[in-house]
Structure 1
Amino acid sequence: MTVTVRYTCPHCGAVTSVDRAPTLADRSVTTTAQPGWAYAEPNDDDLEDADGIAFVCGEDGSVTALDGESVEGCGRPFYLNFVRYERGVELEPDPPAYGGPRFDFNA
């Protein structure tokens, strides 16, 4: 079973649709890919195995304005990020780099 879900391009506001399983949980739509996340194409059959979907506005099928009128799209990439878990803990998109190098300028 699939459902049609609509997403708005964060660059130009055009709306694109994708058919996907209703069990996938959306987290966010971003203008950049999340580091280390694997993205599927909108027409891939295995969306459940990906961390999200990579769109190119206007190139991944027809796009419309919010009122349903057909538009071209801006041709820029944007990313749908699914809710993702690691060892049972929900991960935030674009997590901060904890444990990285530290600089102490007060020494």
Structure 2
Amino acid sequence: MTATVRYTCPHCGSVTSIERPLDLADRSVTKRSQPGWEYAAPDDPLEQREAADGIAFVCGEDGPVTDLEGAPIEGCGRPFYLNFVRYEQGVELEPDPPTYGGPRFDFMG
């Protein structure tokens, strides 16, 4: 069983819809891919999409996009990424950079 899930482009605010299973494990939507993560395309088979680390969208090129009220609009054509929750040896992996806690600064002395 699936449901239509809507994701907002972080570049322009347009909305992309895709069929997803009911047991979602979404972590974040980002402007950049996570280093080392493998992304499926929105038109890949459902099982292949859900086995990946996330889904890579291109705003307006992977199907119709709308505004928040559902009116059709043009997408911006820029990529964005849906990142799933990932586990390694039973431990949840954090995205890089983390999607919470504000900016992260790494100073090397």
TM-score range, shorter chain: 0.7 to 0.9
Cα RMSD for the two superposed structures: 1.7
- Aligned counterpart, 1:84: 86
Q: Are residues 1:55 and 2:53 paired? A: no
| 1:44 partner amino acid | D
Give the Cα separation in 2 of the matches to 1:36 and 1:3. 29
Summarize deviations over 1:47-95 as a string: whole Å, max 9, x none: 1210000000000000000011110100000000000000000011115
Segments ≥4 residues shifted beyond 4 Å: none
TM-score of the aligned structures, taking structure 1 as reference length: 0.86
TM-score of the aligned structures, taking structure 2 as reference length: 0.85
Give the Cα separation in 2 of the matches to 1:29 and 1:55. 10
Give the Cα separation in 1 of the matches to 2:72 and 2:19. 19
| 2:17 partner amino acid | S
Unaligned runs of 5+ in 2: 99-107
Q: Among the aligned pairs, what percent are the same residue?
A: 73
Larger radius of gyration between Structure 1 and Structure 2:
1
- Aligned counterpart, 1:10: 10
Number of residue pairs aligned between Structure 1 and Structure 2: 99
Distance 1:69 1:95, change over 3 A: closer
Unaligned runs of 5+ in 1: 97-102
CA contact (8 A) 1:32 1:79 kept: yes
Displacement, 1:43? 1.6
